Structure 1
Amino acid sequence: MVQEKEDSAIEQIPAWLDQQIFEPFLDRDFPDLKQIKSFRLEPTAGKGENYTTIIMRANFELELNDGSYESTSYIAKILPNSGNRENVASWKVFDKERNTYGQYIPEFEQMYSDAGKKISFGPRYYESELELDEELIVLEDLGKRGFRNVKRQNGLDIQHTEATLEKLAQFHAASAVRFELKGAYPEEYNRNLCSGEDNFKEFRQAQVKAYVKAFPLYNASHLAKDVESYGSQAEDMFQAFAPKIEGEFRVLNHGDAWCNNFMYQYDEAGKLAEVYFVDLQMSRFSSPAQDLLYLILSSTQLELKIAKFDYLIKYYHGKLIESLKLLKYPKAVPSLRSLHQSIFVHGDWILPIVSILLPVVLLDGSDDANMDNLMDGDGAGDKFRNNMFKNPRTIIHQKEILPWAHRRGAFEVTK
């Protein structure tokens, strides 16, 4: 059984991702490099931890000119080998992530530096000068600096949630100021996934059908008709173009702001010291409501999601205003009331978050937890959805969220 798992991992490692690709980065990071003693690739993510791309760790043992030895590693993101490969390639997520890491994050960090504040948003990005036929993103391995994820099934506690919201506010503020100073972001930032056509309609229908079927477990049978009606006409928010609402405050959203895409570093006493963003493939220029709904509803502890929702929005707003003022935002800063109004306006995000993302976050890792099964219309897909929606963690979260979302008009058909 163990051998089968090892063989499966080996199959994910492509032959083209070889030592030569990383050599320019090693030369840059180790000017006194004598020779590479060993090179090894391994998958980084456990089962159920990544659905869009394959993430590999490139491990090196190095000998330096003075005779000493050093270990180092890099993170490499590549397209999946699965049936979803063509879809992912068409979404332009690699183009977007290269731009965000290579251009925008350095600009944002420089803006804060010029204002007298040191802020970092993510790992170092390594731009490859090789011409490749494959998609590739190479990043610093944050694990070398002690960064790690919070266990997603547990959710973020108040300390981690506030720290993440503060970093989001800083990122959002810089992106809004840059927009005013330098103009619009490229067209691909108008939506999360730049699909040429909607290939997800059958998936959404199957997902909503399975979700509503589980409503008796959530004490929500009385909401089934409303959710089913709403779901049957709702557009795919991941493919939707961001609406341009007159006077609305807009920012560059992380776009996939769930707990696995934030990494945390701690000081020697174990106190939270830093938050970094990873996986910036789905950024979209729109209201910050998207990131706020996404993070709070998918990734915070159950006792925070609803009871502390308004508090968390106010906390984020305070940090946003602080950063906008520091960076000399040239317009009137958004009010707390307007932010709440925007969260209502962008409430279309609630259904995909609670029916797709949240159950995935709460599910234990397994061989079945992958994009192919998530997208499957029957068979393996039905089994996967059944596991998601009957998961005891999902049940207790849905019991809290569904009545709240319904009271906010989240499933009201208005078109």
Structure 2
Amino acid sequence: MVQGKEEGTIEQFPAWLNQELFREYLERDFPDLKTVKSFRLETTGGNGENYTTLLLRAKFELELKDGSQQSTSYMAKVLPNNGNRENVISWQVFEKERTTYGQYVPEFEQMYRDAGKKITFGAHYYEPKEPLKEEEVIVLEDLGRRGFRNVNRHIGLDIQHAEAVLEKLAHFHAASAVRFQLKGAYPAVYNRNLCSKQDDFKEFRHNQIKAFVEALPLYEASDLAQSVESFGRQAEDMFQQYAPQIDGEFRVLNHGDAWCNNFMFQYDKSTGKISEIYFVDLQMSRFCSPAQDLLYFILSSTQLDIKIAKFDHFIKYYHDKLTENLKLLKYPKQLPSLRGLHQSIFTYGDWILPIITVLLPIVLVDGSDDANMDSMMDSEGSGEKFRNNLFKNPRIIRNQKEILPWAHRRGAFEVPK
């Protein structure tokens, strides 16, 4: 029997997402399975936590052949039941994530094992024997069962958590760069974060920049209005843009959506220290400079008092870990220099505006009924209300006061001549 959460309804869940879908995974995990006693679907997170997909927890009570009882659960990622459903299909994010989890993550982990180092990048991915033909679903291990959890996105990551993320990104990036040299190019789907056939976000970007410019006085940055408006008018959608082909550029498979909710932490029970960190949401990976992940992560997800003050420290820390792992994996080309990495971060400075006008406000906004993709795309009504919440809450005001002068000094809003 399928049940929803007390506050939910059965109708919010796809009818095909039933216990039979999980049968092959249960039989793999429990070879002595006798029967499924109960099955329950639950939504995860809350308002403002998921925008592009619907993430559900499938909970089971089992009876084994020896008569004992066992509880287990899986995470299932499916298409959203909203107006953004067709967009998500066009982005090819499920295709990309299946390939990353099913092929590249195991390859990268094996590369480290071959080099004498145990690295795990994320939850166990359950690859189906026969994928569904007309529906999209990705089934993963429920990391909550092993004590993994997120850090509060409103507070952000302290220096220890931030360095743990940067080290894990360095592991992932290094393996992806070595694999590229050994086996050649990644599929074309990895040339962009979102693989839309057309740009459906022009009106959204216009509305977002307009609301952001109107809020600049709150950030004590009224003098930037003309620059931001001009830059925003000509800027491409970074999420749909093809990765530039720059001669000699060091490139990696970026996580692509590297903000705090997409990293889960496990802690040592005796010391309370971080014992492991796993990625989630590998649906927006792009093969380009690691500058994308670095700007995206540091500006969106670190605590305010270290976001700018420790920015260069974070880049140096990441570079040290990157080169260490490239050496371990026997990267066949010249190692990327720290100076080159900083130059690449300037080159990819176009990412700063979408990060601080789209991603960062979403990270810092309170959960509410209108904190969803439909509201984001709405040009009026709930959209106006949501944008007001995005740009005028005290957390974003404090962050923008810190980030905007730094971004301006770096030429982040200069329109190319």
Partner of 2:366: 364
CA contact (8 A) 1:21 1:130 kept: no
Partner of 1:51: 51
Q: For residues 150 and 320 of structure 2, what CA distance do their matches in structure 1 show?
A: 26
Report 1:339-358 matches (<5 A): 339-358=341-360
Partner of 1:376: 378
Report 1:184-333 matches (<5 A): 184-269=185-270, 270-333=272-335
Equivalent AA in structure 1 for residue 307 of structure 2: K
Partner of 2:103: 103
Deviation of 1:10 after TM superposition, in Å, equals: 3.5
Q: For residues 115 and 336 of structure 1, what CA distance do their matches in structure 2 show?
A: 24
Q: For residues 335 and 95 of structure 1, what CA distance do their matches in structure 2 show?
A: 34
1:412 paired to 2:414: yes
Q: For residues 150 and 50 of structure 1, what CA distance do their matches in structure 2 show?
A: 15
- CA RMSD, 1 decimal: 1.1
* Equivalent residue pairs, number: 412
Partner of 2:117: 117
Partner of 1:183: 184
1:390 paired to 2:388: no
Q: For residues 140 and 215 of structure 1, what CA distance do their matches in structure 2 show?
A: 43
TM-score under structure 1 normalisation?
A: 0.98
Deviation of 1:226 after TM superposition, in Å, equals: 0.3
Deviation of 1:123 after TM superposition, in Å, equals: 0.4
Equivalent AA in structure 2 for residue 101 of structure 1: Y
Partner of 2:18: 18
TM-score under structure 2 normalisation?
A: 0.97
Identical counterparts, % of pairs: 74
CA contact (8 A) 1:214 1:390 kept: yes
Runs of 5+ in structure 1 lacking a partner?
none
The one-character-per-residue Cα deviations of 1:325-361 (angstroms, maximum 9, x if unpaired) are 0000000000000000000000010000000000110
The one-character-per-residue Cα deviations of 1:47-98 (angstroms, maximum 9, x if unpaired) are 1001000000000001111111110000000000100000000000000000
Residues 403 and 293 (structure 1), Cα distance of their counterparts in 2 relative to 1, 3 Å cut: same
Q: For residues 12 and 292 of structure 1, what CA distance do their matches in structure 2 show?
A: 36
Q: For residues 12 and 336 of structure 1, what CA distance do their matches in structure 2 show?
A: 49
Deviation of 1:8 after TM superposition, in Å, equals: 4.7
The one-character-per-residue Cα deviations of 1:99-146 (angstroms, maximum 9, x if unpaired) are 000000000000000000000000000011234210010000000110
Residues 15 and 209 (structure 1), Cα distance of their counterparts in 2 relative to 1, 3 Å cut: same
Report SS of the residue matched to 1:214.
helix
Partner of 2:174: 173
Which stretch shows the higher mean deviation, 184-193 or 63-72? 63-72
Deviation of 1:282 after TM superposition, in Å, equals: 0.2
Deviation of 1:255 after TM superposition, in Å, equals: 0.1
Equivalent AA in structure 2 for residue 114 of structure 1: D
CA contact (8 A) 1:9 1:43 kept: no
Partner of 2:137: 136
Runs of 5+ in structure 2 lacking a partner?
none
CA contact (8 A) 1:359 1:388 kept: yes
Report SS of the residue matched to 1:295.
helix
Q: Could you list the runs of 4 or more consecutive aligned residues of structure 1 that deviate by over 4 angstroms after TM superposition?
A: 4-9
Deviation of 1:6 after TM superposition, in Å, equals: 4.8
Q: For residues 10 and 410 of structure 1, what CA distance do their matches in structure 2 show?
A: 47
Q: For residues 257 and 9 of structure 2, what CA distance do their matches in structure 1 show?
A: 25
The one-character-per-residue Cα deviations of 1:304-329 (angstroms, maximum 9, x if unpaired) are 11000000000000000000000000
Q: For residues 24 and 184 of structure 1, what CA distance do their matches in structure 2 show?
A: 33
Q: For residues 169 and 50 of structure 1, what CA distance do their matches in structure 2 show?
A: 26
Q: For residues 315 and 188 of structure 2, what CA distance do their matches in structure 1 show?
A: 29
